[in-house]
Amino acid sequence: MLGALVALGGCAGGGAADGEPEGAAAAEEPTGEATRGASGRGEGSDAEGSDAEGSDAEHSDAEGSDTEGSDTEGSDAEDDGERGGEMGRRERGGEPGDQGGGEPGDDEVGDGADDGEDRGDERPELGAALRWEIEERRLERPSHPGTPAGAPHAIVARPDAPPVGAVVFLHGWSGCARVLALPGRVACVPGGPPRDGWGLVEAHEAAGVAAVFVLPQLAWRARDGRAGRYVREGFAAETLASLAIPARLPLTLVAHSAGFETALAWLRRGGLGDRVRHVVLMDALYAGTETFLAWVEAAPERRLVSFYTGRGSTARQNARLERLASRRGVRVSGSLDEDAPVRVLRSRVAHGDVPAEHLAETLLRLHDQSAGAAESVAP
């Protein structure tokens, strides 16, 4: 069960980051947290601040497009041009904050439970009951500028048992940490208009895994997927240390949508060594396919799980991931139950609902499989 909510705390002087350059162009982000497709839950612009809209054509991999010319069906760089147009179709399905979300267009945000399945009956019984204490933290050195006073730079949920790891959730466009983390009607800042919370702390809690949950605030409610200060060598490790996340804990990175850009920065320049054991992409593989595959190939205990929806860019990049992995002899599975280095799974829910739908089971399966592998090699 959820524990007490700790008031805004952390380091003093929690001002926004300076306005320095934060990497290359912003990522293509289809719907992000601006609208949640069929669910109607959204985080669109209002009196708290409007989205910083940019040209769709600007959106590309912030870390640089992969130069994987060997795949004759196209490279990440070739997808960048079409991704902007797809983002436009999906993002502009309705005005930000609309309860219905409008028509997303082109079946690009997923199909919903469109095969007549009663999917609720298929969900497994998840983990044991733990209690969690939720902290809202302000930081002296946040990763992104613009987070207003009264809003946290990070939300951290700690279990009442010795932690076995840490899960870091990297959000997409237009996100505010409080709405993403908490259930019910939630305001991004005190006195602001409430929105439908995504309840990601509860989704994490449902796995019953004694891992710390960390949800950093990235770009504040803007259509911007850039990694901010995380492009600096070691800044990710510095952030975790400032949040009192023990350096001994293995990490699971969960990226939703444009959060893939920050995930790439954490893998490339995070200063995390071999701490990252799992990467979970929640309809987030828009680019960086070669980098994610190279990361999982580099150590036998690493695991990459990638969900996709619909038939758009993430579906194409996941198909490409499977082809590249097959050519390199990396085993790929379509099931969470099989402990393969790479798992590619189609989600039947809308783009914005993928994290809450799949987070708990994914974390539980990865934890159980990691524990089982450790037991099998123990002397």
Interior angle at CA 92, CA 88 and CA 98, nearest 5: 160
Residue 5: its pLDDT value, please? 52
CB 168 within 8 A of CB 253: yes
- pLDDT under 50 in the chain at which residues? 1-2, 4, 7, 9-70, 72-125, 376-379
Helices (runs of H) and strands (runs of E) counted in the chain: 8, 12
Is 2-42+75-110+132-377 CATH 3.30.70.20? no
Instruction: Check residue 371 and give its pLDDT.
Output: 82
DSSP 221-255: TSS----GGGGSTTHHHHHHHHTT--TTS-EEEEE
3-state helix, strand, coil in the chain (%, to 5): 30, 20, 50
Element (H, E) at 133: strand 132-138
pLDDT reported for residue 130: 84
Tokens for 50, please give them. 């409007």
Helix (H) or strand (E) holding 164: none
Q: How far apart are CA 308 and CA 346, in angstroms?
A: 5
Cβ atoms of 242 and 13 within 8 Å: the answer is no
Of 234, 239, 225, the residue nearest 168 (C-alpha):
239
Tokens 């009196």 belong to 47
Integer CA distances (angstroms), 251 to 6, 43, 74, 86, 165, in order: 23, 28, 32, 32, 6
Q: Provide the residue ranges of all domains of the chain, joining segments of one domain with +.
A: 2-42+75-110+132-377
Return the pLDDT at 373.
Answer: 66
Reported pTM: 0.75
Q: How far apart are CA 366 and CA 200, in angstroms?
A: 17
Which residue pairs, CB below 8 angstroms and at least 24 apart, start in 65-71?
Answer: 65/287, 66/287, 66/288, 66/289, 66/290, 66/291, 68/289, 68/290, 68/324, 71/320, 71/323, 71/324
Please give the pLDDT value at position 73. Answer: 42
Q: What pLDDT does 166 receive?
A: 98
